[in-house]
Structure 1
Amino acid sequence: MNSIDLSINLKELLGSHHVYTNLSVSQLVEKVLSRNEGELTSTGAVRATTGKYTGRSPKDKFIVEEASVKDKIAWGSVNQPISVDAFDRLYQKVLNYLQNKNELFVFKGFAGADEKYRLPIQVVNEYAWHNLFAHQLFIRPEDHELESHDSQFTVISAPNFKADPEVDGTKSETFIIISFERKIVLIGGTEYAGEIKKSIFSVMNYVLPEMGILPMHCSANVGMEGDVALFFGLSGTGKTTLSADANRKLIGDDEHGWSNSGVFNIEGGCYAKCADLTREKEPQIFDAIRFGSVLENVILDDQSRVANYDDTSLTENTRAAYPIQAIDNIIQPSVAGHPNTIVFLTADAFGVLPPISKLTKEQAMYHFLSGYTSKLAGTERGVTSPQATFSTCFGSPFLPLPATVYAEMLGKKIDEHNSQVFLVNTGWTGGEYGVGSRMKLSYTRAMVQAALEGELNSIETIKDETFGLDIPLHVPGVPDEVLRPELTWENKEAYKLKANELAEKFKNNFTKFSNVPQEIEQLGGPTVK
C-alpha cells in the first residue's frame, strides 16, 4: 500500500461511527428488513436476490502478483495476475466509496474449527444481508474470543461499486482480488454472496499447505466408533446426500483441512443448493432454513411468503445459508480423527465406470487430480451425448497452488494413515445416458456403507480391463452383476467403445499436468485399446 497516497486506510474506515461489528442475528435481520435488502419468509429466513450475477464470476477473479507469491502461484485462467499498482488504486477507490456509506457491517470470526490452525478473519460488508451470510457461514467467536480477536485476513465486499476495466485493469465491472501480502480480499460489482465464502476457501488453500495441512473441497462425517469418512465430488454426484447419514455425525458439508491431528471443518455453516428442495428428499436442509438463515434468489409466494423451491425462474443456483448448528446430527466442535475411508464420487453418464472400485494410492492421486464427472445429454440445446467434465482436486476454481502440491499431500496422508480409497459411480448403468438407467440410490448407499464398515478392505476383486480399477465381486445388498459395468450392457461392443472413449478423455485431460511423477499416470490411469 506504500505505492500510492492513501486518503483513508482500513483502520480509519472501521473506526468510524457508522460501522456495526458482530451484530446478533436478530439485529442483522432487523437491518436487512429496515434497509429493504430482503424479505422475511414464512419460516423466518431472510430471502435476498443477487441481481445480475446469480453465481460466481470465475473470469473476474485475480491474485495480486506480489514478490512473495509470484513464484508459488499456478498462474493461468483460474489464477489471473493483477499488478500491485492496479490493486492499490482499486483498493483505495473502494475504501473511499465505503467511507461515504451511512452504515457498514463487520463480522469478526474464524476459518478453521481446529483452534491450533484457524485463521482469524473479518468481513466488511456494504449489505447487512451479506454480513448475516458471513455470520452464518464462518465460525462465530465466543465473547472472550471477540475481545482478543486479531484479524489476519480481511474480506471487503462492495457490491454496488463497479470497476472500470479500462482504468482499473479488470475484465469487467466485477472483481474478486486476493492480495496475500496485504491479507485483503477485495470484492465488487457482484451481489452473489458465495464469492465471500469461496474467497476465504481460496485463501485457506494457500495458507494451509504452508502449515503442512491438506485443504480439501469435500464433505466429512464420523461414525459412532470415531471412524472418519471423506466424500469428494462435483455438483450432482450425491456428495451432500451420501454424507448425510442418520448413523454418522456430520463434520461439515464442503470445506475441510487434514492436519497431523486429523480432519477439521473450515466453516461454521452450510451453503446448500435448494432447487427442487423437499422435506422428503433432504429433511436436514429443509428444516435448517429457519430464522437467521439466508435464501438466495428463491421465489416466494407474494402473500404467504412460502418459498417455492421448484421455481428456478431467477436461477437454477438457488441457495440456502445456515449455521451448522441448525442440523441436529453434527459433531461439535467440527473436529475428528484421521480418515479411515475416502470416497471419490462421480456421476458417469457414459455408464462405463464401476459403481464402486478400490483405488491404490497412485489411482487415488490420479483420480484426485482428474476430478471427473459428466454433464448430461439433453440438458442443453445441441448436447446429444454426455460431456466429460474435469475439475482438478474436485475444486480447481479455488486452488492457488499447483495441483500437484495437493495431490502429493493426499498421497502422503493416505500412506501415513492407511486410508482406504474408493471410486463410487452414482451415474449410469446398463448403458450411457438415454439408454441405461441411473444407479439406484439404495445400491449406492449399500456400497458406501460396506466401504465405511471395512467390509471391502479384504474382499475378492476383479480388475477392470480399461480403467485398471479393482472391482469387488460381492457387496451386501447389491446384485453381483451390477458391480461389473460390462455385464449390465446388452451390446458388449458398444460398451468397449464407450469405455475407450472415456479413457481417452481421461488421458487427454491429464496432459495438462506437466510435473506429475510418471508412475502416477502409468499406475493410476486407464489404458486405451
Structure 2
Amino acid sequence: MESSSMPGDSRNFATPLASHGLDPQGAVHWNLGWEELHRIAVERGEGKLTAHGVLLTTTGKRTGRSPNDRFIVNEPGLAEHVWWGKVNMPTEPEVFEGLLHKTREYLDNSDQLFVKDAFCGADPDYRMPVRLITEKAWHAAFMHNMFVRASKEELVSHVPQYTILHAPDLRAEPRGDGTNSDAFIVLALDRGLVIIGGTHYAGEIKKAIFTIMNHILPAKGLLPMHCSANTDGEESALFFGLSGTGKTTLSADPGRALVGDDEHGWSDNGVFNFEGGCYAKLIRLSEEDEPAIFSTTRRPGSILENVVLNADGTPDFDNGSLTQNTRGSYPIEAIENRTPDSMAGNPKNVVFLTCDAFGVLPPLSKLSPEQAAYHFMSGYTAKVAGTEVGITEPEATFSTCFGAPFMPRHPSVYARLLSDKIRKNDSKCWLINTGWVAGGHLESSRIKIKWTRALLNAALDGDLDDVLFVEDERFGFQVPTTCQGVPDKILQPRQTWHEEEKFDNVADLLAQMFIDNFEQYAEDCSEEVLAAAPRVLG
C-alpha cells in the first residue's frame, strides 16, 4: 500500500516505491517540508525542540561514521575501477542481495516511511538526482537540509539516479549477514542503490552520495573535491585540509562569499557545491569566534545532533559527554555571505592546509602542478601529544586527497585531474602550515592566526607576485622571503630553530615519512609527480 497521511504532499508518480522493490504496508510521506518533518519527529519521539525551536536528536552509540562497516559491491561495471583496500572494502553480490532483501522487508513493515527527493550538485549540467527512503522523519529533514532542494515542478518528473534505503533501527547479524557488526553501509554502484542499517548517524547519508559522486565524476573529466570554496565575485579559491588545520576558519572571510564548506566539483565551467547545506562540528562553538555558524543553532529548520542542553533548553556546546563529534545541519541559505547559486568561476588559487607539529614546513610555500599532485595525494597533517590517548610525540597523518575515506578510485586519478586543471587555468597552488616552526610544538607556540591570514590574503590578492622566492632544499617548493605583516624570519623555518643540526635531522625524518607513505601510490604515478618527492639530505 502506498499512501500519504498528509494532504498536499508533493508526490512523485514518476518513480513509485515499487520500482525500488518496496511494497510498504504503512503510510508513506512524500517530500514533506522541514516544518512537517520536524513536527512529526517530535511527535514520534525521534527528537525534541530546544528553547529556540531547533530540532535536537541523538544517534545512540554510533556518533560518527562507521568506516569498518562500509562496503562497495564487487561486481562487473563501475566497481571495476575501485581502488580496493582498507578504505574501499569489497563485499560480494550475494551478501548485498541478502542485506537488500532484509532491508526491503524491514521497510515494508515499518509503520511510516518518509521519501525525500533532491539533487547532489548545484550545477544543473552535472547535478545528480537522488532519493532517500527512510523510517525516520528527522533523517528526511537532514536530507532536506544537506542536498540541493528540488522545486515543485522538478519533483513531478524527478527520477533518482541513486536511492538510499535507510533503516537505522535494523540490526544486521554479522555471522549470517556477512557484515563486520550490526551496522552496514553498502554501495551498489551499478544498481543505483545504497543500503544503510544499524546506525542513526546522519553523516552516513551524505557521505555515501559524496563517495558515489567521487567515483562517477572523474570519468566525465570533472574533479570531485573534499574542500571548502569561496570567491571575491571574480576569482574563486579552494581550501583543502584535514581536521584541525584551519579549513573552516580560513575559508570564512567577510570579504569573500562562501560557495560551500565541504564538498565541491570542478568542471570546465568552474566550481560548484555538491550540497545544499552545511554539516558543522559544534563542539566548543562560540558566538564570538564563529558568529555565522552560531546563529544557525538558533534558527528553526536547523538540526542539532548529540548536543547536550542546559536546564533552560539552550545548547551547551562545551559539553562533549555524548561525543566530541557534536554536529549541526542547516540549509546554506542560513549563511548570509554566500554565492546565490552555490557556484563560482574557475579557481585562481588552490590552498592546501597542514598543521605541521614537527616545525619543518614553511608557513607558506608555492607549488608547481606536479608538486600539487604529490602533496594532494599525500594529504599531510600531524597529530600532537595530548590530542589522542597514547600520542607522546608528533605523529604524521596522511589522508590522500584530503579525504581518503570517500575516494573510491586510485588517488592518482584525482591528482592528475587537479594538476591538469591547475595548469589549464593557470591557477596558483599554495601549501600553508598553520602549525609550528621554531623547534616544533614542544619548543614554541603555534603560528599566530594573524600571520597565517596575512600570508593567505597576500597570496590570494596577488601581493606576492613581485616578491623574491627561494627554493626549499628538501621539498623543492618555492618559499617567499618577505610578506607584509609577517616577520621575515619565520618564513624560513630552519632560521627559527636554535640548533640547525637538530632541524636538519627532524626535516629529514619528515621527508622520509612522506617518501614511505607515497610508496603505495607510486606505481600509477607519472615520473614528473614522482620527481616532486622531498629529498633526504642527511
Classify the TM-score, shorter chain. Answer: over 0.9
Task: Report the alpha carbon displacement of residue 11 of structure 1 after superposing the two structures with TM.
Answer: 4.2
Take 2:466 and 2:105, find their aligned partners in 1: how far apart are those partners?
64
Query: Judging changes above 3 Å, is the alpha-carbon distance between structure 1 residues 299 and 235 closer, same or farther for their aligned structure 2 residues?
Result: same
Let me know the Cα RMSD of the aligned residues.
Answer: 1.4
Give 2:432's aligned amino acid. Answer: V
1:22 deviation in Å? 1.2
Residues 73 and 187, structure 2, Cα contact 8 Å, conserved in 1? yes
Map Cα deviations across residues 263-289 of structure 1 (whole Å, 9 max, x no partner).
100000001111100011111110122
Q: 1:482 to 1:169 in 2, by over 3 A?
A: same
SS, match of residue 165 in structure 2: strand
Whether 2:488 is the aligned partner of 1:485: answer: no
Report the 3-state secondary structure (helix = DSSP H, G, I; strand = E; otherwise coil) of the residue aligned with 2:532.
Answer: helix
Displacement, 1:418?
0.5
Residue among 244, 260, 264 paired with 2:252: 244
Report the Cα offset of residue 526 of structure 1. Answer: 4.0
Structure-2 separation of matches of 1:352 and 1:429: 6
Q: 8 Å contact 2:26–2:109 — kept in the other structure?
A: no
Aligned to 1:108: 117
- Provide the C-alpha distance between the structure 2 equivalents of 1:433 and 1:255, rounded to a whole number of angstroms: 31
**Alignment partner for residue 165 of structure 2, among 134, 156, 162?**
156
How far apart are the structure 1 equivalents of 2:368 and 2:19?
A: 50
Deviations 1:317-342 (A, max 9, x none): 11111111100000011111100000
The unaligned stretches of length 5 or more in structure 1 are 1-7
What TM-score comes out, normalization by structure 1 length?
0.96
> How do residues 114-133 of structure 1 correspond to structure 2 at under 5 angstroms?
114-133=123-142
Once residues 455 and 314 of structure 2 are traced to their aligned partners in structure 1, the CA distance between those partners, rounded to angstroms, is 38
Deviation at 1:44, TM superposition (A): 2.0
User: Is the 2:24–2:109 Cα contact (8 Å) retained in structure 1?
Assistant: no
Q: Which of 387, 398, 405 is 2:413 aligned to?
A: 405
Task: Go from structure 1 to structure 2 and tell me whether the alpha carbon gap of 1:363 and 1:102 turns closer, same or farther (over 3 Å shift).
Answer: same
AA in 1 matched with 2:157? S
Residues 362, 524 of structure 1: 8 Å contact kept: no
Counterpart residue identity of residue 389, structure 1: T
Q: Please give the alpha-carbon distance, in whole angstroms, between the structure 1 residues aligned to 2:53 and 2:227.
A: 29
Structure 2 counterpart of 1:497:
505
Cα distance change, pair 526–36 in 1 and its aligned pair in 2 (3 A): farther
| Match of residue 463 from structure 2 | 455
**Distance in 1 between residues matched to 2:250 and 2:70, nearest whole Å:** 31
Given candidates 38, 58, 65, the residue that maps to 1:56 is: 65
CA drift at 1:150: 1.0
Q: Secondary structure of 1:438's match?
A: coil
Query: Does the 8 Å contact 2:474/2:534 carry over to 1?
Result: no
1:33 to 42, 57, 73: 42
Identity across matched positions, percent: 49
In structure 1, distance between residues paired with 2:116 and 2:439:
51
Distance 1:70 1:196, change over 3 A: closer
Does residue 476 in structure 1 map to residue 484 in structure 2?
yes
Alignment match, 1:357: 365
TM-score by length of 2: 0.95
Q: Quick one: structure 1 residues 155 and 247, their matched pair in 2 at CA, closer, same or farther if it must change by over 3 Å?
A: same
Contact kept in structure 2, 1:461 and 1:471, CA below 8 Å? yes
Give the CA deviation at 1:527.
3.5
User: 1:4: which partner in 2?
Assistant: none
CA–CA separation in structure 2 for the residues paired with 1:266 and 1:103: 29
Q: Which amino acid aligns with 1:58?
A: P
How far apart, CA to CA, are the structure 2 residues paired with 1:212 and 1:299? 44
- Aligned partner of residue 105 in structure 1, secondary structure: strand
2:88 aligned with 1:82: no
Residues 26 and 111 of structure 2 are in contact (CA less than 8 Å); yes or no, is this contact kept in structure 1? no
Residue in 2 that maps onto 1:270: 278
Secondary structure of 1:437's aligned partner:
coil
Query: Is 1:430 paired with 2:430?
Result: no
Mapped to 2, the partners of 1:374 and 1:66 lie a distance apart of 37
Tell me if structure 2 keeps the 8 A contact 1:112–1:119. yes
- In the alignment, which of 93, 109, 121 is matched to residue 102 of structure 2? 93
Aligned residue number for residue 196 of structure 1? 205
How far off its partner does 1:385 sit?
0.5
Contact 2:77 2:190 in 1 (8 A): yes
2:21 and 2:473 map into 1 onto residues whose CA distance is 65
Aligned letter for 1:495? F
CA offsets 1:478-506 (integer angstroms, 9 cap, x no match): 11112111122222222111111111110
